[in-house]
Amino acid sequence: MKSLQEIQQICETMHPELELRHEGSTEAKSKYEKHVLICGGTGCTSSGSMEIVDTLNKELVARGLEEKIQVVKTGCFGLCALGPIMIVYPEGTFYSRIKAKNIPQIVQEHLIGGTPVKELLYDETVTDEGIKSLNETSFYKKQHRVALRNCGVINPEDINEYIARDGYKAIAKVLNEMTPEDVIQCILDSGLRGRGGGGFPTGRKWQLARTIVPDADQKYVCCNADEGDPGAFMDRSVLEGDPHVVLEAMTIAGYAIGATQGYIYVRAEYPIAVERLKIAIQQAREYGTLGKNIFGSEFSFDIDLRLGAGAFVCGEETALMTSIEGNRGEPRPRPPFPAEKGLYQKPTILNNVETYANVPQIILNGAEWFASMGTEKSKGTKVFALGGKIKNTGLVEVPMGTTLREVIEEIGGGIPNGKKFKAAQTGGPSGGCISAENYDVPIDYDNLIAIGSMMGSGGLIVMDEDNCMVDIAKFFLEFTVDESCGKCTPCRIGTKRMYEMLDKITKGQAELADLDKLEELCYYVKANSLCGLGQTAPNPVLSTLKNFRNEYEAHVLAKKCPAGVCKDLLQFTILPEKCVGCGLCAKNCPVHAISQGDYTAPGKKRAAFVIDASKCIKCGVCMSNCRPNAISRG
């Protein structure tokens, strides 16, 4: 148990250490000469960053440098495509895709010799004028980090480092200076809206939970960390990189609504996040920032973890609560809303991880500061998980109102291999595909809905000309069919029928009238489903029907897949004017569908090969083996 003064003392003592982690901060009075930060998030761990931490620690001990150089295992830096990532402060030099075998060289030349190993640095930071720091790269320059401010900066397993970055200062301010009503007013004024996708005003939710049942004997604060949208990993990164911020924010929420117990519902598929949350909760209990009479006040609050078990529908608020109660995670009709009857029929608020990550900063810096960022109706910043056909896959945080073009071209580095942008998918299975004509629309909650998509939790998957939009719609429908809980008929049967219709289209068996039928069914499912899963499941279909109708029509009328994805509609042909007659295609064909024909094109020495379409299984092996690129697909 620590008193407020002791916490302040830790903040002051630790401060110089954290100060060192700004580039060029030679003034910092750290105990160490250098800090080496290595990403311990899921992305970098998967590409071997823990081996690098071990090797580096051993190397430092072997050379007697462990007192001079501190190795810090952090959360996600965001640039997952370049992992494993290592940053050396105070210089801020940025090593990317390093391997354990590079460590002795880096220690010798850089940490001892003072000269960074140029060939191992992220290439964009190496310029003629010298080595640029991380924050000057195009990936980081346009970002504005609020929710992610500690990710990649602190050691998430050390509460002291969180405290050094003003951690637990907001809850201290709340308990000492603010009434619950003040807290709610502050969140209301900030304009913070739910980052899980719906965009409901957070302050309004808290206000309802505080007032709607005046004599409630028990209330609950829940955190939705069941990040199920495929391609979205921002919540995971916050939990892995800065778990204490969620605990602090939930405690603030507990004070605001009058709850004493919180639950974090987190995906079991995120083992690193679960582990760090467990450590954080234990440390917070030891320090007394969770538990009875926090900082000597009357207010007590504790948090427990509940692990999800792989059901997408549990991201829906009522389903999540049903699951915490130990049941099948099926949603229930609203009203009554959880603010009135939530977990165990008690008033409950549920916010998502990223929403909570903003709260302590709003309390400390004021509602006006937060409201100064973003657009008229969407304040603050939003974290996006960039994925798909994009150079810099990873996590970015930008002010609301940034355009898709800025995010994809400038921060994301554009589309690789010289391909053209075709669509960006936001909002996962609940969202839609945004076409190139909306490339310059400022991204916020309302604009995305206006163009037929939605914010969702913030997955942003980029697609190029090689992706078939009908196939993508089918992919999402397959997901929703699989994840539909089956409780209500429109969703259970409607999504299945939609999937079957899409399947027919991709097989070239549909007629034009089927497109209208499909659209009609979409609106029916949208209007009649019980919960958000079914109500939004048609979005991927509706948005692609609207923005890429010509592609649907090509499948239906010409029986062609313009992107060359839908196998049933594909045809491989060998162009005789390009074929050199080498026979590599025939040799590699798994079903012996290729043989030499008898036509020799002018100027060629040997007769061209031909594909027997009736035998071809459209595997594409011939194409990948053809050196003169003589095989066309279409």
Partner 1 sequence: MATKTSVPFNGTAAQEAKLREIIKAHQDDPGALMPVLQQAQEVYGYLPIEVQKIISDEMNIPLEKIYGVVTFYAQFSLYPKGKYNISVCLGTACYVKGSGDIYDKLQEILGIGDGECTADGKFSLEACRCIGACGLAPVLTVNEDVYGRLTTDKVKEVLAKYE
Binding site for partner 1 (CB under 8 A): 42-43, 45-47, 79-83, 227-233, 236, 268-270, 306-312, 323-330, 344, 385, 387-389, 393-394, 425, 428, 459, 461, 463, 467, 472, 475-476, 485
Whole-number Å distance between alpha carbons of 223 and 445: 21
Which position has the token pair 């109102």?
Answer: 401
Q: Is the dihedral of CA 477, 519, 405, 358 positive or negative?
A: negative
Q: In the numeric block, which tokens belong to residue 277?
A: 């949350």
- Residue that has been written with the tokens 């290592």 in this structure: 86
**What's the DSSP call for residue 429?**
G
Nearer to partner 1, 41 or 116 (CB): 41
Nearer to partner 1, 82 or 153 (CB): 82
Exposed, middle or buried by CB within 10 Å (0-12, 13-18, 19+), for 7? Answer: buried
384 has which bridge partners? 396
Strand partners, 462: 388, 424
Nearest to 98 by CA among 147, 47, 132: 47
CA 185 to CA 367: how far, in whole Å? 9
Give the phi and the psi of residue 200 in degrees, each rounded to 5. Answer: -75, 140
Q: Which C-beta is closer to partner 1: that of 393 or that of 402?
A: 393
- How many Å apart are CA 78 and CA 43, to the nearest integer? 9
Instruction: Give the whole-angstrom CA distance, residue 71 versus residue 303.
Output: 30
Nearer to partner 1 among residue 252 and residue 311 (C-beta): 311
Least spacing, CB of residue 476 vs partner 1, in Å: 8
Q: Which is nearer to partner 1, 86 or 184 (CB)?
A: 86
Q: In whole angstroms, how close is the CB of 168 to partner 1 at the nearest point?
A: 28
- For residue 617, the minimal CB distance to partner 1 (Å) is 11
In whole angstroms, how close is the CB of 215 to partner 1 at the nearest point? 21
A 10 A CB-CB count for 158 gives 17
- Least gap, CB of 425 to partner 1 (angstroms): 7
- In this structure, what DSSP letter does residue 301 have? B
Cis peptide before 90 (omega within 30 of 0): yes
Least separation in angstroms between CB 406 and partner 1: 20
Nearer to partner 1, 567 or 578 (CB): 567
Per the CB < 8 A criterion, the answer to whether 414 and 408 are in contact is yes
- Measured between alpha carbons, how far is residue 610 from residues 568, 598, 600, 618, 633 in Å? 19, 9, 11, 14, 13
Residue 14 vs 383, nearer CB to partner 1: 383
Nearer to partner 1 by Cβ, of 98 and 111: the residue is 98
DSSP string, 378-418: SBSEEEEEEEES-SS-EEEEEETT-BHHIIIIIIS---GGG
Helical packing angle, 243-257 and 180-190, nearest 10°: 120
CB 595 to partner 1: min, Å: 24
Q: Which is nearer to partner 1, 113 or 310 (CB)?
A: 310
Closest contact distance (angstroms) between CB of 394 and partner 1 is 6
Q: CB of 51: closest distance to partner 1 in angstroms?
A: 12
- The nearest distance, CB 467 to partner 1, in angstroms, is 6
Q: Is 240 helix (H, G, I), strand (E, B) or coil?
A: helix
Q: Which is nearer to partner 1, 234 or 256 (CB)?
A: 234
The CB-of-280 to partner 1 minimum distance in angstroms stands at 19
Using DSSP's 3-state secondary structure scheme, residue 345 falls into helix
DSSP symbol at 12: H
**231 versus 399: smaller Cβ distance to partner 1:** 231
In the complex, least distance from residue 537 CB atom to partner 1, rounded to whole angstroms: 15
- The CB-of-16 to partner 1 minimum distance in angstroms stands at 33
**Could you tell me which of 601, 594, 599 has the C-alpha nearest to residue 577?**
601
Shortest distance, position 6 Cβ to partner 1, whole Å: 32
**DSSP-based three-state secondary structure for 629:** coil
Judged by beta carbon, residue 85 or residue 174, the one nearer partner 1 is: 85
Q: Of 89 and 476, which has the nearer Cβ to partner 1? A: 476
3-state secondary structure of 559: coil
Query: What single string gives the DSSP state of each residue in 51-115?
Result: HHHHHHHHHHHHTT-TTTEEEEEES--S-GGG-S-EEEETTTEEE-S--GGGHHHIIIIIIIT--
The first and second tokens of residue 614, run together, are 């009736």
Q: Which is nearer to partner 1, 20 or 415 (CB)?
A: 415
* Triad 343, 348, 354: Cα angle to 5°: 110
